[in-house]
Structure 1
Amino acid sequence: MVRVRYLLDTDTVSALTRRRPSEALLLRMATTAREDRTTSSITLSELLFGAHKAGARSTELVTRIRAALPRSPLIPFDDAAAEEYGRLRAHLEAQGTPIGQADTQIAAIALANDLTVVTGNVRHFERVPGLTVENWLA
């Protein structure tokens, strides 16, 4: 059984919902096994929030979001992630470099599950000690 390796951040999944995703992203998706990538319940909640704010387009956007989700099960924000989140948020705030609640939760999920975060928002996630980050959007 192949273990999931990559946790797609909100901006990466969002890019997949566009009518014309970037060539760089499509290439990485094509060369990475489906079983190797997933996303989190936090990312799904952020995407659905944005879709439901879109009014008349919300049904179309929800459909596109669901189609863009990796086939692997979503990784939840569980007890292990909560422990990482508490430690990480305290550390980042003490350093004066907080990254926002959703990004901290996504980073915590990645740390708790030993996953690489795939994001275009490298600047935020590079502040997280011990987190591996890749940008498939560039």
Structure 2
Amino acid sequence: MIYMLDTNICVAIIRRRAPHALQRLTEQTIDNVCVSSLTVAELEYGVAKSSQPAQNQRALEQFLLPLAIVPFDELDAEVYGHVRAALEAHGQPIGAIDTLLAAPAPVPAAARSTRPT
């Protein structure tokens, strides 16, 4: 199974606030763990607005170094459109950014790893 980490779990691992998640991550082969390019964009945004951007940039780069970064592609864009429309139709919109981040999740054999905000 491939685990796609979301922004919240990445931040928690980088800050060492998710020992259980870090343990599970270390139990996986590195080929089974990835992040979306959109998650990387969110993480870069966090670095840019932080009070210690240089230190946080280094920490982010170290964290991402062994991970595959999955690009957001046309299929993801199509899934995004359908998911966002369905959520709005059911009165459960989650916002454009969160929907974009969720779009790659239905990819076969991918499991999202998340942490509540």
TM-score (norm. length: structure 2): 0.89
Q: Which runs of 5+ in 2 are unaligned?
A: none
Query: RCO higher in 1 or 2 (8 Å CA, sep ≥ 6)?
Result: 2
Question: Partner of 1:127 in structure 2?
Answer: none
* Matched residue type, 2:90: Q
Contact 1:34-1:70 within 8 A present in 2 as well: no
Question: Partner of 1:104 in structure 2?
Answer: 99
* Matched residue type, 1:115: A
Contact 1:41-1:77 within 8 A present in 2 as well: yes
More displaced 10-residue stretch of structure 1: 66-75 or 31-40: 66-75
| Residues 1:44 and 2:27 are matched in the alignment | no
- For residues 5-54 of structure 1, give each alpha carbon's deviation from its aligned partner in whole angstroms, at most 9, with x where no partner exists: 11100011111211x33321221012111110100111111111111112
Question: CA–CA distance in 1 between the matches of 2:47 and 2:17?
Answer: 18
| Residues 1:13 and 2:10 are matched in the alignment | yes
* 3-state SS of 2:4 partner: strand
| Equivalent residues, number | 117
**Any runs of at least 4 consecutive aligned residues in structure 1 with deviations exceeding 4 A, and if so which?**
none
TM-score (norm. length: structure 1): 0.77
Question: Partner of 2:19 in structure 1?
Answer: 23
Question: Partner of 1:82 in structure 2?
Answer: 77
Q: Normalized per residue, which structure has more strand?
A: 2
Question: CA–CA distance in 2 between the matches of 1:63 and 1:14?
Answer: 13
Contact 1:39-1:75 within 8 A present in 2 as well: yes
Q: Which runs of 5+ in 1 are unaligned?
A: 123-138
* Matched residue type, 2:116: N
